[in-house]
A and B are shown apart, each in its own frame.
Chain A
Amino acid sequence: MASLGQQGGDESDDGMDEFMDRFRTEKYKNAFNESNWEEEFDTIPMFMKKVPDVIDPMKHPELACIQAIIHDDDRSPEEQAQGLKDEGNEYFKEKNYKKAIVSYSEGLKRNCADSELNAVLYTNRAAAHYHLGNMRSALKDSVSANKMKPNHLKALLRGAQCCMELRKYGDAQQWCDEGLRIHPADKKLQELRSTADKQKREAERDARKAKLREKKLRGQKEALLAAIKERGVKLMRITKPVREEEDGEGDEGQVAAGMGELDGLMSQEATGSCVFLDDSGTLHWPVLFLYPEHCQTDFISAFCETSNLLDHLAVMFGDELPPWDADRKYLPHNLQLFFEDAESERLHQVDVTAPLLKVLQHSRCTVKDGSPSFIVLVTGSSYSKQFLSGKKIHWLK
């Protein structure tokens, strides 16, 4: 500081020296507290690192003042909208998309007359929605922006991008085409269009593939059903009320009912096995063996229709008898097999030397839920006598 002449010599009139002396010894008033000066710093708007979400005028009067100035209602709608747009953009930069959307929405609420500004607000809000993954909202805003200003490139790009995310490739292409009409050389639009076109054609291919597969599957189902019917094997669903197949109903009706049955067959099967037709046209059935004496069951997942039951029994009760057969009674030639006629509740003895197909073709035999089942009893055992007493039985001759 320039000294005001050397008049007074060492002692100056303005008391500067005294002041300077005091400066060294005394603390100045309203100083920051040494211990918590960082906290205090944070309360001064200029030095704040983070702004509180809600500004309480009591706690932060300076902040409240500044906010009031920014959102001054005395300003024109255009100015307010502009300010809100800037605010939104700031939030956007910070990736605070939710807050950005709020600001942009407020800006749009001002309903100012500047359609360019409104278009930008919509476009920016669309971008914020896009980054949050709200594709439908983003698309809606892109449409609004486009209405406000039909040649707004960013809105057109955003609209196309939203359509891509929503897998509406045809629509994306249309957005691009409209954009290219106005900005024919824009690389982004061209690239986006090219990608949209590619995805669209791939999606079309996938649809064709799926359709072909479905058709093939249906064809297989139909062939299976036809094979079963051709053999005169009757199918029945017992878990749902039996649909009466009327004779003389058109082909469609029969196939439809049949399809339902087949679906039932495929879905009801607990083990996931289903009757199938092999390459040489032979049917293979999933067959259940029931041993009521020991409350046991056996399951053969693919019983060829040309095999007979005795062959399988020979294997099942061959070298090793099942663990539950403690008395070692279940020997293949000792067994009697029956199927139950559900309607009349009669038991029919089965010829174990006949092929499965012949058994199933028996006039009273019906395959329930896609799986033929047979009751297995030991010939002449006391349990067998007990089981069979009181029942109507059709013995083999």
Chain B
Amino acid sequence: MLDESKAKELLPFLTLETRPDVKGQATEYILGVTATRDGCRYLRTKPDFLKALLTLTTDKSIAIVKDCYHSLINLSADETLHQPLVKEANVLPTLFQNLLDPGYMFSDRICTILTNLSRHEKTCREVFRVLQEQDIGLAKIVEIFCTEGFNKVASLHYLGPLLSNLTQLPETRQFILDKERCVVQRLLPYTQYNESTVRRGGVVGTLRNCCFDHLHHEWLLSDAVDILPFLLLPLAGPEELSEEENEGLPVDLQYLPEDKRREEDPDVRKMLVETLMLVSPLPYIKTILCLAAHLLS
């Protein structure tokens, strides 16, 4: 049960200057508040709390910063909190700036918050707008995402779903499918990224969204991008094929070792098949349907 008066009392203690033990208790309590729906709804009308949380992410104590980020994650999961977070508390610029820091410990939390905020189109637009305003741009996000070990203390896997959410917007899709640049090509290898389902799923989601537009299909299928093998490979299994059969396949699917495993996550599998259905040229459709039937049986 939310104790409104108690919560109200805590606000003055949510400052950097407060005594550490009091500060710690206050943030811990707020975290508890954000864990409930009622609590979130209460905080919706209290932008001062949100601002305080953001400020406290610069605190020296790691435990306090962690609590603040977790609170923000909980809050961002609730769509009704999006406007207060983004407009009144203005969290985005700070979050982005920290994300760019290769040594920032909490970048993974930031990615989760951003993913939550970009889930629905309205706030997604805000996220994109601030990205441009801060002179960071989508290019930088993709670059960070594709740079192995950019951040030594955070995996940044949740940039995948963030990108996927951002491709709700035509501007984002346009950037990724820009023929004058080399963006989508850098994302393709991640359809095979076994170390993280989140990252892999995010990339497949991004590709799926991008494939809704028929205009780009020819280019996507051409040598310049060659998207098809990257979509087929995760669905290929360890079947032993003769040399003749192998030579008939695209290069990436030839001579797969016997320990090759199919995509195990059913959601990602579904997205792969959907993307293939969208983008495959007619002769391939039959192959895809067979594959799909095999997978879903």
Contacts and interface: CB of A to CB of B under 8 A. Distances in A.
Interface of A: 176-177, 180-181, 184-185, 189-190, 193-194, 197-198, 201-202, 204-205, 208-209, 211-212
A237 to B, nearest CB: 33
Contacts of A194: 185, 223-224
Contacts of B252: 201, 204-205
Given A194-B224, A198-B223, A185 B254 contact: no
Interface string B206-234: 00000000000000000110000100000
Contact of B257 (A181, A185, A208): A208
A177 B252 CA distance: 21
Contacts of A176: 182
A194 B223 CA distance: 8
B257 A197 contact: no
Given A193-B185, A208-B254, 12 more contacts: A177-B182, A181-B143, A184-B181, A185-B180, A190-B182, A193-B182, A197-B185, A201-B252, A205-B254, A205-B255, A211-B257, A212-B257
Nearest to A211: B257
A177 B144 CA distance: 12
A189 B182 CA distance: 9
Contacts of A202: 251
B257 to A, nearest CB: 6
Interface string B239-269: 0000000100001101111000000000000
B186 interface: yes
Give the interface size bracket for B toward A: 10 to 19
Contacts of A204: 252
Nearest to A203: B251
A42 to B, nearest CB: 54
A212 to B, nearest CB: 5
A327 B72 CA distance: 107
A201 B249 CA distance: 13
B62 interface: no
B178 to A, nearest CB: 9
Contacts of B35: none
8 contacts: A180-B181, A189-B182, A190-B181, A190-B182, A201-B252, A208-B256, A209-B254, A212-B257
A110 B90 CA distance: 54
A282 to B, nearest CB: 24
B213 to A, nearest CB: 21
Interface of B: 139, 143, 146, 180-182, 185-186, 223-224, 229, 246, 251-252, 254-257
A215 B158 CA distance: 39
Contacts of B254: 205, 208-209
A206 to B, nearest CB: 9
A209 B255 contact: yes
B257 A205 contact: no
A212 B256 CA distance: 9
A190 B182 CA distance: 7
Q: Which 7 pairs between the two chains have the least Cβ-Cβ distance?
A: A208-B255, A209-B255, A185-B180, A184-B181, A205-B254, A205-B251, A180-B182
A2 to B, nearest CB: 68
Contacts of B185: 193-194, 197
A208 B258 CA distance: 11
A212 B255 contact: yes
Contacts of A189: 182
Given A184-B139, A185-B180, A194-B223, A201 B257 contact: no
A190 B146 CA distance: 16
A197 B182 CA distance: 12
A290 B5 CA distance: 109
A201 to B, nearest CB: 5
A209 B241 CA distance: 12
A193 B185 CA distance: 10
Nearest to A190: B182
A151 to B, nearest CB: 15
Nearest to B147: A177
Nearest to B260: A208
A65 B146 CA distance: 58
A178 to B, nearest CB: 10
A181 to B, nearest CB: 6
A185 B181 contact: yes
Contacts of B255: 205, 208-209, 211-212
A317 B139 CA distance: 84
